[in-house]
Structure 1
Amino acid sequence: LQDNQLTATIPTELGALSSLHDLWLNRNQLIGTIPTELGALPLLEDLSLDSNQLTGTIPTELGVLSSLQVLRLNDNQLIQTIPTELGTLSLLEELYLFNNNLSGSMPQEACNLRTTNGGLLSSLDADCKSEV
């Protein structure tokens, strides 16, 4: 459903689609917040919500998406800090959060994904503290 000029909120009912692997709602005109119910998608590998008009915070519930490999939330209007729970996404390969209104720094837990378990996280545009 990407690139369809959709102008609505993301339905919370999507969280009931337990077999969903990819959710591409990017490059639309979606508004509102990211539903916490998306954290109930155990097989989700790619969550692309970039280039919309989403507001609010990044739900901590996304940190339980154990199959997630790609998380694109860039180019929205998200606020506050990046949840440390994203650092538990051990299969994450790509993380895009730029062009939002986020504050604070990238949690060290997320930065550590570049080196933990073979360092699968290859796309992370953030200032991370050097390993000591």
Structure 2
Amino acid sequence: MMAPHVNPMAIEYGVVLKGTGRIQIVYPNGTLAVNARVRQGDVFWVPRYFPFCQIASTNGPFEFFGITTSARKNHPQFLVGRNSLMHSLRGPELEAAYGIGERRLKRIANAQHEQIILPSS
């Protein structure tokens, strides 16, 4: 699975080059917008600021090519993993927002060691 992320500067278009998988997109409020099976030749798009992830099927590889609509630098903001927003925002403000202590927030933020590609469960 490619870690859930948000494109802050652009819409993303994707073309499935090989294999099958799922595209999951959620609204900015966290509710599910799309949970679609995709296969070779399918095209998908994800609006700016909508969190999403690409998940390979269990029976083979899932390769896709992504294109964004902005000429500006669009640095995807990952929601989990070692380079996630959780690590960037970690501090008393985030602890207060979630109503949890420093130790629990640290345990949550450090639970995912991988950066971008997450292994299957």
Superposition TM-score, scaled by structure 2 size: 0.29
The structure number with the bigger radius of gyration is 2
User: Which one has a larger percent strand, Structure 1 or Structure 2?
Assistant: 2
